[in-house]
Structure 1
Amino acid sequence: MSVAMRLLARREHAELELKRKLHQREFADDEIESALSELKQRGWQSDERFAEMLIGSRARRGQGPVKIGQALHTAGIAKAALQASEVDWDEQALQAIRRYLRHKDVSQHEVRMKAMRHLLQKGFTSSSARVALAAFLKEPRESDEFAPE
């Protein structure tokens, strides 16, 4: 149990992650189950808390729900945790597209399509990407920002 506690002291872990790490350290299955049961009972390990941490940190880094959902799945967490989160994915996509298009000429079709691909690669849905691009294009900008000097 002390190894599992040390792992949790560094950062939150999902139950499946802890199991994998303890198996790698060649602990017996019954020892692992006992330790995880006690950790959960004491509130030191929580899949819900892990999911909140993962969703929050990945969203702050600009990742979308598709990519975060894959990370949750890998950690053995149901994607329902993602749906229960209070993240406004359309707003997150808009912020990401603002950063990406900050100094680009959006009058060019190719630039707009690259922005869409960028959002899709970051894990946003195509509908969120379309909404974000449309909202970005409606925002006021300096008209001479891209004029040649």
Structure 2
Amino acid sequence: MDELVIDVAVTLPERRASQLASGPAARRPQATVTFSCERGHKASYRVPARVGRLYAKDVPELPQELAACIDQLRALERKTCFAHLVEMLSRREHGEAEVKRKLASYGYRQSSIDAAVERAQDLRFLDERRFVTAFVEERMRRGWGRRKIERELAVRGVRDEGLLELADSLMSEDGERDRARYILARRRIPDDKAYEKLVRHLMAKGFSYGVASDAVKECLAQNGD
């Protein structure tokens, strides 16, 4: 017979510790669930803070077998992981690698993350092609050049050849030049070393040297410089 749990303690992270963890890759502080068994044995499990908070509100009736308590805790984690994923997707589109990295930073187990991602994909809540399309179009509206967009897609884990081809198809050469012209039209021409400074400005936004150089030459010619 499995050990009987006679008491459960949930230790939540301090609010200040949670506030200090920032950035998509930062490890969030976790909660600890400790099961105390009738023979004096204790078993502790680390879980995401929001899982700990939910579990503390609805601790199972005791005494109960340890295995059953653990199963209930893991089931709550899986349910919470999916809800957390849907919450992230409700704010904006995400790619698969990005959501996996974020969920892992909160302390969800890999099995819970994989199950949540698979379910979200089946329901079309999570769609890589839709994410890439939205990402590229939004960054182009911000005035980003092709190179910066491609770098950021790589940072977000987009490496599939088909997805990269999709991104490439959305970024035409003419569109790239138009965006460079638009950026220059809204920027004051420097009094000194205008060509060099404007080219550097465009290249910092991800435009190639060729596109940046041509756009700056055209801009300066139109302004009589």
- CA RMSD in angstroms comes to 2.1
In the other structure, the counterpart of 2:112 is 31
Q: Residue 132 of structure 2 aligns to which amino acid in structure 1?
A: A
Is 1:99 paired with 2:180?
A: no
Number of the residue aligned with 1:44: 125
Q: 3-state SS of the aligned residue for 1:52?
A: helix
How far apart, CA to CA, are the structure 2 residues paired with 1:41 and 1:105? 53
Q: Please tell me whether Structure 1 or Structure 2 has the larger radius of gyration of its CA atoms.
A: 2
Distance 1:21 1:117 in 2: 33
1:65 touches 1:82 (CA, 8 Å); kept in 2?
no
In the alignment, the residues of structure 1 paired with residue 83 and residue 220 of structure 2 have an alpha-carbon distance, to the nearest angstrom, of 54
Letter in 1 for 2:136: I
Q: Alignment partner for residue 195 of structure 2, among 112, 115, 118?
A: 112
**Structure with greater strand percent:** 2
Specify which of 174, 177, 190 is matched with residue 90 of structure 1.
177
Answering whether residue 214 of structure 2 is matched by residue 131 of structure 1, we say yes
1:122 to 192, 201, 205: 205
Counterpart CA distance in 2 for 1:112 and 1:82 is 30
* TM-score, reference length from structure 2: 0.56
Give per-residue Cα distances to partners, 1:104-144, cap 9 Å, x unaligned: 367x6x112111111011110001112212332444x5x7x
Q: Which residue type is aligned with residue 97 of structure 1?
A: L
Cα contact 2:190–2:197 (8 A) shared by 1? no
- Relative to 1, partners in 2 of residues 1:81 and 1:74: Cα closer, same or farther, differing over 3 Å? farther
Task: Normalising by structure 1, report the TM-score.
Answer: 0.82
| Equivalent-residue separation in structure 2 for 1:26 and 1:55 (angstroms) | 30
Query: Which of the pair has the greater relative contact order for Cα pairs under 8 Å at 6+ separation?
Result: 1
- Structure 1: 5+ residue stretches without partners: none
Q: Distance in 1 between matches of 2:184 and 2:95?
A: 31
The alignment status of 1:72 with 2:153, answered yes or no, reads yes
The 2-side partners of 1:7 and 1:105 are apart by 42
CA separation of 1:12/1:105 partners in 2, compared to 1, >3 Å: closer, same or farther? closer
3-state SS of the aligned residue for 1:100?
Answer: coil
